[in-house]
Structure 1
Amino acid sequence: MDVARCYLEGNADAVEFCPHDACRHVLAASTYTLQEGDRLSRAGSISLFNVGAELGQLDLFQRIETAGIFDIKWNPVGDSVSPLLAQVDADGYLRIHGLESCSDEAQGMECLCFSLKEITDEKISPSMCLFLDWNPSATSITVGLSDFSIRESQLETIEMWNAHDFEVWTTSFDIHQPQLLVFTNGFSIVNINGDKTEVIETYSKHESLAYGADWHTDKSLHEGKGNSTLVVTCSFYDRLLRIWTPESDSQGFSI
């Protein structure tokens, strides 16, 4: 069931909640838009939202214009001083942004506000960079390129199945219920129980191809609403970012 939504000025293709304790209310969404004309260009943006404790609160507090973005990922929680957001884009760059807290000098105390600033960038390839992932210790990043190259090591396939007839753009495990996996396109939730895999729910509100999905890391976000699970999804073509609770969550709340 829908909780909140926001129209993005571009084709939405990635969305991620910040996993770090002080910033779990921060949601990042990225876009990619092909601009046609005498010379093709690929533009994009990163939008930061505050997902508040009150049901339905989704406030935009920063937007950064960039090259067309294909993927974004927050660094895993660990020894990092502050949260980092990595992006890969159509220009073949890997860029790292830091999420910095603002301070109220007049009051002499820290406010609950944040700002995203680019720290560094590196030209990875003349090809487009399509996706990225951090290692668990946040000390290295792997990047996939549009020329089909990717470095893999010590990988083992534990299960493979035909979930639907669309291309799969991203997948995300629920860290609170690791047997649950949400994937796109189709926005289906799969229950993986040993050697049995079952699609238990499909979310169809986007009515178009789906690109990004993530689970909220803090199940106690909404006080008084029980431990309801929050899922955030975005679609490349309807340009909508939606926050919803799975019907399969017995304590899910409604609007």
Structure 2
Amino acid sequence: NLTFFVLTYKYNFATMSEDKTKQIITLHKYKTEFNADSVEWCPHKPYQHFFVCANYQLTETQERIGRILLFSITPANELQLCQTVNTSAVLDQKWCLHCPILTVVNAASAIEVYKFENERLMLITTCTVPCEALILSVDWTKEHEMICSDSKGNWHKLELCENNLVLQNTAKAHDFEAWIAAFYSWNTAVFYTGGDDALLLTFDTRIGTAPVNKNRVHQAGVTSVHSNINKEFQIATGRYFRNEGGRFKNFHFSVMMKMCDFGMCAI
């Protein structure tokens, strides 16, 4: 299901100060039918009231199917479904940083690029990575480059050139699933991958395809990496952990990292 929330703050006019008590208010709920695993707001004006919701479903015949649902919030604050795009099971999606283009990665080892125009998503190109794996994550740079990770522990670097995706490089990073790949906002020659082997790896494309740093602080699968666009030398990471029965207990925001001369250290 898709649930739309808003986070509000209380303001005390008597003391002219902000009440730190936060309230989460549910504005909308929507039955997506398939499992909803990713939501991304369009960051570009005048389309910032649009967002996409990615779906993933494993059928009884073990087929992985998916959808991209395009929504908008109307001036009357109503949730409106604008478009449904049927595709393979979607694992991740990201908007391009400087134009309304959406990249979607899926269970068919494919990377799909959609142009958002006239309030519709239009497929402009597809690239299949020769890895026979699920593409698990994708991230953009401002230079039309992207980084992906897959279920076999690899990363793939691509570039969008005149509406065509060009695979630039592929390398093995992790022994198990590479859950996440993300660029460093302050220098896009640097990117990170996080894997089910509990490693957070740092890469520098100016040096080669081998990691320049291996960080083992998480002690569990690294599932999320986010570079702080407002503060240099800082990234946030997330991990999952299992309960005693071996099942996923929940996702856990784990540790803030800081770039040091010798790599990454916890703070």
TM-score, normalised on structure 2?
0.54
Q: Tell me what 1:116 maps to.
A: 121
**Cα distance between partner residues in 2 of 1:68 and 1:54:** 32
Shift of 1:128: 1.8
Whose Rg is larger? 2
Shift of 1:30: 0.5
* Contact 1:128 1:146 (C-alpha < 8 Å) held by counterparts: yes
Conservation of the 8 A alpha-carbon contact between 1:171 and 1:184? no
Alpha-carbon shift at residue 18 of structure 1 (Å) = 0.7
| Gapped regions of structure 2 (runs ≥ 5) | 1-23, 156-170, 172-190, 192-202, 205-210, 241-249, 259-264
Residue 130 of structure 1 deviates from its aligned partner by 1.2
When the two chains are superposed, the root-mean-square deviation of aligned CA atoms in Å is 3.3
Q: Which has the higher contact order (CA 8 A, sep 6+)?
A: 1
Which residue is equivalent to 2:91? 70
In the alignment, which residue of structure 1 is the partner of 2:80? Answer: 59
Q: Report the CA distance between 1:22 and its aligned residue.
A: 1.3
CA distance in 1, matches of 2:235, 2:85: 33
Shift of 1:129: 1.2
Q: How many angstroms apart in 2 are the aligned matches of 1:168 and 1:7?
A: 29
Cα distance in 1, alignment partners of residues 239 and 41 from structure 2: 17
| 1:163-242 superposed matches below 5 A | 167=221, 169-172=223-226, 186=250
**Residue 95 of structure 1, CA deviation:** 0.7
Structure 2 match to 1:50: 72
Q: What is the rounded CA distance, in whole Å, between the counterparts of 2:40 and 2:238 in structure 1?
A: 14
Report the counterpart of residue 58 of structure 2 in structure 1: 34
CA-to-partner distance for each residue in 1:46-76, whole Å, 9 max, x for gaps? Answer: 0011134555x32211111110111111000
Contact 1:100-1:115 at 8 Å conserved across structures: yes
Distance 1:128 1:9 in 2: 22
Give distance in 2, aligned partners of 1:15 and 1:156: 32
Structure 1: unaligned runs, 5 residues or longer:
102-113, 198-255
Identify which of 26, 39, 51 aligns with 1:15: 39
CA distance change for structure 1 residues 157 and 54 in 2, over 3 Å: closer, same or farther? Answer: farther
3-state secondary structure, aligned to 2:46: helix
Structure with greater strand percent: 2
Report how many residues are paired. 175
Provide the residue aligned with 2:261 in structure 1. none
Q: Which residue of 2 aligns with 1:84?
A: 101
Instruction: Read off the aligned partner of 2:96 and give its amino acid letter.
Output: N
Please report how far the alpha carbon of residue 19 of structure 1 lies from its aligned counterpart in structure 2 after TM superposition.
0.9
Deviation by residue 1:81-118 (Cα, 9 ceiling, x = unmatched): xx1111111111111011011xxxxxxxxxxxx01111
Q: 1:17 to 1:158 in 2, by over 3 A?
A: farther
* d(CA) in 1 for partners of 2:101, 2:238: 24
Report the identity percentage: 23
CA drift at 1:171? 4.8
Going from structure 1 to structure 2, the CA distance change for 1:156 and 1:146 (only over 3 Å counts) comes to same
What TM-score do you get using the length of structure 1 for normalisation?
0.56
